[in-house]
Amino acid sequence: MVIAVCTLDDIVTARQAGHGLASDLGFSLTDVTMIATAISEVARNITSYAGDGEIRLYTGDRHGRKALVVEAEDHGPGIADVALALEDGYSTGGGLGLGLPGARRLMDHLEVSSRLGRGTLVTMWKWVPTGA
């Protein structure tokens, strides 16, 4: 599933799509909420820093296990220092600096690939509960 992210309303749409997929996959209510919140954080980064992009949601194999995968991609200015951007409290936009670090804490895995002037790809996932 692909959700275009250009406006604040698109953040809500992406969050709702993630919530629905996570529920369908048998995640607990707590995990569903954490996944939806992480999606909100990365989608908000797209609207705040890049202007537009997309969120892709799907299930995939990660290290031999089934996972709900979220990819947030934009073609914005990129992140000059990814390691710094993943530190709590760091923000270039005057915010609290909780977006990427917060999303990383909420998911089982998060990685960031970024090229200045070319954009950013955030890939994160949460393991699907066994038996689901």
Q: Tell me: the pLDDT tens digits for 59-70?
A: 999 999 999 999
Q: Kindly state the average pLDDT of the residues 36-51.
A: 93
Predicted model pTM: 0.90
Between CA 79 and CA 1 the distance in angstroms is 26
Residue 80 maps to a domain: yes
Residue 132 maps to a domain: no
Residue 103 maps to a domain: yes
Residue 39 maps to a domain: yes
Q: Which domain, by its residues, includes 26?
A: 2-127
Residue 117 maps to a domain: yes
- Tally the domains of the chain: 1
Residue 119 maps to a domain: yes
Between CA 53 and CA 50 the distance in angstroms is 7
Residues in Cβ contact with 24 at an 8 Å cutoff, skipping those fewer than 6 apart? none
Least trusted range by pLDDT, from 3-7, 54-58, 77-81, 98-102: 98-102
Q: How many CB atoms lie within 10 A of CB 35?
A: 27
Residue 16 maps to a domain: yes
Between CA 98 and CA 96 the distance in angstroms is 6
CATH number, domain of 41, equals: 3.30.565.10
Residue 77: pLDDT band (50, 70, 90) is very high
Percent of the chain with pLDDT over 90: 77
Between CA 35 and CA 107 the distance in angstroms is 7
Residue 47 maps to a domain: yes
Q: Kindly state the average pLDDT of the residues 92-114.
A: 78
